[in-house]
Structure 1
Amino acid sequence: MTNVFLNYRVADEPYGAALLDRSLSERFGSEAVFLASKSIRLGADWEKSMFDAIRQSAALLVVMGKKWLDAVDDHGRRRLDDPDDFVRREILTAFELGKVVVPVRLNTPRLSRDELPPALAQLAACQDIEVRFRSAQPDIDNLANRLSAIIPELPAPLASTRGSVFTVNGTGTGSNVWQAERFDVGHFHAGPSYNGARGAS
């Protein structure tokens, strides 16, 4: 069952949504996080799949980048003003179903009611959270902790390898590693094969 639905616009910050999906999936498991490009089965009715996932979710995260508010269509019209816009429809569906709606700002300021279409004005009143470039992982960890506090059905955190000690699998002698398969140093991962790599410094 999906617990967290990621609402985002491809023309805005798709990499931000991908980062949130990766981090939250590492924390709660991939099945607990819905990202359309990952979660919809090949050949499935994608529109039905999306709105079914919202119904099954406890929370919808609105991923807001710098282009979220003012993205326009091919005719220069703001997408959020279009009743058929999927980002807009997903948010409104979540409100109608009484889901927790959390704006997740990616290095962007808070929005006021006046900046939003009247139908989405309620979004400005929702408690938001910011994910900043220089502190993205701690910010996402904070988001995950706060989601756990309000969504009891979220799975228990999975075991994480982030922040693990320096480990190397390979062959070699002394301080040189000649066929290291993978390095794991905090958030840094390198692999699958690095010849002549030095030990930790």
Structure 2
Amino acid sequence: MIGQICWVDERWDKRRKYWFCFNPTYRLKNSEMRIFISYRRADVGGHADIFVGRIADRLIAHFGESNVFLDIQTIPVGREFDEFIFEQIAQADALLAIIGPDWLTELKVREEEKEDFVKAEIQSALNRGVHLIPVLIGGAFMPGTDQLPESLKRLSRKNAFAVDSGRDFHPHLTNLINKLESLTIPTYIDKGPFRGIRESYNKGNTLRFQIHEKDELLSYNDVIERWIHDDQFRSFFRSLLYDSGLSSYVWETPPITSNHLNRPFEFVLLSLPKRFGSPDRETYAQYFNVDAGDNGVIAFDNLGKDALLVVPSPCKTDVDYTNLAAFLRNAPEIQQHALWRMLGRCVKQRLSSKPLWISVAGGGVAWLHVRLDSYPKYYRYMQYRAEP
């Protein structure tokens, strides 16, 4: 399938927009890449379309002009405008949010008028986990968190590209194109009402996941509640890890506090060399009790008292629970459900205004132990080490 580059040209008559599509002459490195570009026509003193047109010309030149077409068309007959636009965003792999010097002013104006399609487009991309790249034009600065409504605050944390209209225009566009080509096309895993979005990095050794339910990106609070109460979700969550293709891995989540429960939930799997040797059934032996806790899944403080450990008791003498991957291969289903259920309960009890890091470190004791840490003691994924 040949990739497409598309954007919306915003017409503030509130009745229609224009849809532009470009077909490149050759496949992108990510051959099914779809890009949605959203901008305000009233931006840059009402001349944003000129700037965006230059960006489009450069994209056309890069992807091959002979097979590129520019088609101005209205919404298909009988289709609702917003329904059509959001369908396109749902199919996109990346959204370019063009931000000029008048972007924030227009945001406030549209807020008062209760209708802002650009805001809705960006919000939809954020909620769907679509790659979102802010592109700064006309000397604009990236909006701060305090300047954005609650639904767009995550936009301020995105890495932005500044595109100059002068002599640096082409180098800037080259960098932007390289960024687009380097984006990882996500893999979608659907089961019942749930959709997992998996992105692969570092030659497949780092996998990043987000989870949707009925097109809504789940928050940390959503996942905690589903770990505790939802059998179907726990089965789905287990399948994301079990079918990851990694034989041994670290599992890490971003830090969470009681004030950040609504942040989108995500996690990473970091591949580890396959473990050899015997599982360590001795270190935690004093705590093991298949009749205690939840189906033998127990929780206790570590020796340093700076972490809570959630640990499964062996269901039989020779079982291998060396790490999380081994546990998912060898533990009975009822105990696997118990692990996530117990973890959800422990997280709720442990939550406070101080950050909590939840992970399976993959080192030290060769027996599965999920860690609830007060600091990122063994964290390897640098993006998750910072406090929320």
Determine if the TM-score, normalized by the shorter chain, exceeds 0.5.
Answer: yes
The aligned residue for residue 198 of structure 1 is none
| Structure 1 residue 128 corresponds to structure 2 residue 163 | no
What TM-score comes out, normalization by structure 1 length? 0.63
Q: Which moved more, 1:94-103 or 1:14-23?
A: 14-23
Residue type at the aligned position of 2:106 = A
Structure 2 portions without partners, runs of 5+? 5-33, 187-388
Q: Report % sequence identity.
A: 28
| Structure 1 residue 5 corresponds to structure 2 residue 5 | no
The aligned residue for residue 142 of structure 2 is 110
Q: CA RMSD in A?
A: 2.8
The aligned residue for residue 84 of structure 2 is 49
* 8 Å contact kept, 2:36–2:92: yes
| Structure 1 residue 92 corresponds to structure 2 residue 127 | no
The aligned residue for residue 17 of structure 1 is 52
What TM-score comes out, normalization by structure 2 length? 0.34
Residue type at the aligned position of 1:119 = S
* 8 Å contact kept, 1:80–1:87: no
* 8 Å contact kept, 2:51–2:165: no
Tell me how far apart the structure 2 counterparts of residues 28 and 152 of structure 1 sit (CA, whole Å): 18
The aligned residue for residue 170 of structure 2 is 137
By percentage of residues, which structure has more strand? 2
Residue type at the aligned position of 2:180 = L
Structure 1 portions without partners, runs of 5+? 154-201
Residue type at the aligned position of 2:140 = T
TM-superposed deviation, 1:108: 1.2
TM-superposed deviation, 1:80: 4.8
Tell me how far apart the structure 1 counterparts of residues 41 and 58 of structure 2 sit (CA, whole Å): 19
Give the secondary structure class of the aligned counterpart of 1:70. Answer: helix
* 8 Å contact kept, 2:40–2:103: yes
Tell me how far apart the structure 2 counterparts of residues 67 and 100 of structure 1 sit (CA, whole Å): 24
The answer to which structure, 1 or 2, has the higher relative contact order (CA under 8 A, 6+ apart) is 1
Match of 2:96 among 50, 61, 67: 61
The aligned residue for residue 179 of structure 2 is 146
